[in-house]
């Protein structure tokens, strides 16, 4: 049995039956036969269904956003934006999949000709997290389906209602009934049954968004089964603020990037690496901004920050803060577990952070801003790269050439200049080092789960 809990009140929302291995096998079988018929449909036909799905998402965005906010606690306006972004990725691939998957002709000097084709591979398992319960699913599933594949989803248990809602959306949009199917697994069975799904011969690929530990476990199982994987894992994103940056504007963007989704995002701003000449100004303005944040009921339009998604996540975050303060970090605000219902944690600022403190390079999944001082550009680059993660990064400077030179030296998959890190259907998204491998979105994302087939011939 899965019981979902409202993180704002700590009260139960709903109960859901979990599946046995036999029930999961039946789901996979039904999905496989719908995949067989789907792969033969033209890209034009597929795009019609995907456009219908986008329209349905926009029509029903309020009810889906409310479900997201109830299940994982993000402010309602952010949940609405998440559903709208999910519709955008549907439209994007409906419009561009044909060009992304167009066969590429080749002709060589020795008279050999050829064609490179991009063909579906089968069913793809998605293991998805709770922090963006719609967007994470859609950005993985939509390109895979447009490429002709079928989808099996194993969503995080605390957003089971969202998993069911997404499954119904695909059916309401007219897709084959089992082309996209969700499975519901009890926590005590997750390792065993996820492994069972990966080993199933109909499953040909696995996409996971989650923690580095979860990525290792899935990659190990997939490797033994020789299944292709794409892993989008944790991050400890550095935001570098140079001495020629517009500091008030940088503070506004950095605070928003740290607080979005209550800081529960792999690409949240995690570490603010600030040039010595502007450190005190940045610290002062960021502290003012973090202290002014309105925290509370996600359905209150004035609220900027809701609760953390689960009790254990709050305990983990608070432990990181407490240990770092004990190691010498200066606690400027927050850092205390609040009394009352729900899993709230106040916006927190830690300054004077140095190497060997836990928050120096580890990921903090919540509204905790870490301030690290750098004497020059070279030291800022060293600090930014001094982490096992390599997902996103941002640089704030009034000199684009200077920022671009720094961007070239950062060990990350994504770098934004004078802007917060974000995933965008038009741009490949993913990381390096312990932030994973493979890419989602754009042309690169749709080609991750295809068979790139080369056909060569000589017509002389």
Residue 408: exposed, middle, or buried by beta-carbon count in 10 A (0-12, 13-18, 19+)?
exposed
Task: Give me 422's structure tokens.
Answer: 């974000």
Q: What is the number of other CB atoms lying within 10 angstroms of the CB of residue 144? A: 27
Q: What is the DSSP letter of 301?
A: T
Give the 3-state secondary structure of residue 454: strand
Q: Give the residue among 280, 293, 284, 272 at the shortest CA–CA distance from 347.
A: 293
In sequence order, which residues have a C-beta less than 8 Å from that of residue 424 and are 6 or more positions away? Answer: 441
Q: Give the number of C-alpha atoms closer than 13 A to the C-alpha of residue 302, restricted to the C-beta side.
A: 4
* Contact of 327 with 358, CB cutoff 8 Å: yes
In sequence order, which residues have a C-beta less than 8 Å from that of residue 341 and are 6 or more positions away? Answer: 8, 9, 10, 11
Q: Which residues are catalytic?
A: 232, 266
H or E, element range at 180: strand 180-183
* R_g of the chain, CA atoms, integer Å: 23
Q: Give the residue among 390, 440, 456 at the shortest CA–CA distance from 132.
A: 440
Q: What is the DSSP letter of 440?
A: B
Task: Give me 133's structure tokens.
Answer: 């319960």
Q: Give the residue among 64, 5, 3, 66 at the shortest CA–CA distance from 298.
A: 66
Task: Give start and end residues of each alpha helix (H) in 15-134.
Answer: 21-38, 43-59, 61-72, 76-100
* 206 bridge partner residues: 125, 229
In sequence order, which residues have a C-beta less than 8 Å from that of residue 195 and are 6 or more positions away? Answer: 221
Alpha carbon 110 to chain centroid distance? Answer: 46
Give the 3-state secondary structure of residue 173: coil
Strand ranges in 210-341 using DSSP code E only, listed in sequence order: 228-232, 238-241, 271-275, 330-333
């Amino acid at each position: 049995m899965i019981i979902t809990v409202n993180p704002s009140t700590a009260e139960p929302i709903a109960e859901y039956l979990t599946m046995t291995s036999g029930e999961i096998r039946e789901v996979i079988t039904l999905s496989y036969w719908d995949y067989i018929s789907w792969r033969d449909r033209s890209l034009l036909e597929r795009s019609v269904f995907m456009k219908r799905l986008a329209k349905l998402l926009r029509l029903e965005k309020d009810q889906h956003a409310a479900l997201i906010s109830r299940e994982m606690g993000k402010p309602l306006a952010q949940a609405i934006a998440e559903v709208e972004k999910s519709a955008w990725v549907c439209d994007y691939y409906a419009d561009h999949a044909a060009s992304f998957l167009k066969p590429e002709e080749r002709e060589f000097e020795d008279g050999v000709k050829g064609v490179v084709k991009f063909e579906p591979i089968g069913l793809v398992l998605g293991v998805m997290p709770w922090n963006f319960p719609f967007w994470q699913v859609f950005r993985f599933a939509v390109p895979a389906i447009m490429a002709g594949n079928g989808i099996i989803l194993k969503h995080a248990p605390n957003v089971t209602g969202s998993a069911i809602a997404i499954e119904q959306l695909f059916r309401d949009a007219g897709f084959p009934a089992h082309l996209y199917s969700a499975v519901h697994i009890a926590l005590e069975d997750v390792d065993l049954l996820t492994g069972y799904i990966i080993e199933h011969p109909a499953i040909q690929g696995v996409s996971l968004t989650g923690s580095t530990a979860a990525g290792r476990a899935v990659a190990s199982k997939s490797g033994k089964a020789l299944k292709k994987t794409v892993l989008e894992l944790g991050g400890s994103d550095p935001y570098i603020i140079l001495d020629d940056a517009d500091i008030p504007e940088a503070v506004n963007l950095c605070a928003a990037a740290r607080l979005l989704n209550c800081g529960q995002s792999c690409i949240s701003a995690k570490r603010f690496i600030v040039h010595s000449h502007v450190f005190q100004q940045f610290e002062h303005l960021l502290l003012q901004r973090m202290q002014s944040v309105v925290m509370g009921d996600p359905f209150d339009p004035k609220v900027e920050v809701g609760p953390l998604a689960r009790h254990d996540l709050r305990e983990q975050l608070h432990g990181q803060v407490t240990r770092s303060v004990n190691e010498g970090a200066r606690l400027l605000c927050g850092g205390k577990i609040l009394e009352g219902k729900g899993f709230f944690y106040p916006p927190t600022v830690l300054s004077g952070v140095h190497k060997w403190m836990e928050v120096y390079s580890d990921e903090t999944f919540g509204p905790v801003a870490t301030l690290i001082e750098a004497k020059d550009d070279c030291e800022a680059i060293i600090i930014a790269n001094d982490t096992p993660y390599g997902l996103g990064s941002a640089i704030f400077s009034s000199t684009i050439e200077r920022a671009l030179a720094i961007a070239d030296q950062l060990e990350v998959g994504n770098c934004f200049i004078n802007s917060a890190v974000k995933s965008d259907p038009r741009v490949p998204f993913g990381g390096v080092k312990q932030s994973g491998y493979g890419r989602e979105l754009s042309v690169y994302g749709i080609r991750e789960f295809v068979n790139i087939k080369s056909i060569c011939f000589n017509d002389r």
